[in-house]
Amino acid sequence: MVKERDLIRWIAGRAPDVGDDCAVLDCEPWGTLLVTTDSVIDGVHARWTTDGPAAFGYKAVARGLSDVAAMGGEPLWAVVAACLPPGATEAEAHALYEGAERAGCRLVGGDTAFGPTAYVTATVLGRAHAQGPVLRSGAQAGDTLVVTGALGGSLTSGRHLTFQPRVAEARALVEHGVHAMIDLSDGLSTDLAHLLEASGVGARVEAALVPCHGTLPQALHDGEDYELLAAVPPGTLPPGAIRIGTIVDGEGAVLVHEDGAEDPLRPGGYEHGA
Q: CB-wise, 13 or 235, nearer to a second copy? A: 13
Query: What is the spatial distance between Cα 97 and Cα 120, in angstroms, rounded to a whole number?
Result: 10
Query: What is the spatial distance between Cα 136 and Cα 201, in angstroms, rounded to a whole number?
Result: 11
If one asks whether residue 237 binds a second copy (CB under 8 A), the answer comes out as no
Contact 151, 184 (CB under 8 A): yes
Question: In which element (H, E) is residue 217 found?
Answer: helix 216-221
Q: How far apart are CB 191 and a second copy at their closest, in Å? A: 16
Residue numbers 53-82 binding a second copy by CB under 8 A: 76-77, 79-81
Contact 165, 65 (CB under 8 A): yes
Query: What is the spatial distance between Cα 26 and Cα 32, in angstroms, rounded to a whole number?
Result: 5
Q: Map residues 95-114 to x or -, x wherever contact with a second copy holds by CB under 8 A.
A: --x---x----xxxxxxxxx
Q: Map residues 21-60 to x or -, x wherever contact with a second copy holds by CB under 8 A.
A: -xx-x-xxxxx-x-xxxxx-xxxxx---------------
- Angle, CA 69 vertex, CA 226 and CA 162 arms, to 5°: 35
List residues binding a second copy (CB under 8 A).
Answer: 1-4, 6-8, 10-11, 14-15, 17-18, 22-23, 25, 27-31, 33, 35-39, 41-45, 76-77, 79-81, 83-84, 87-90, 92-94, 97, 101, 106-117, 119, 121, 123, 125
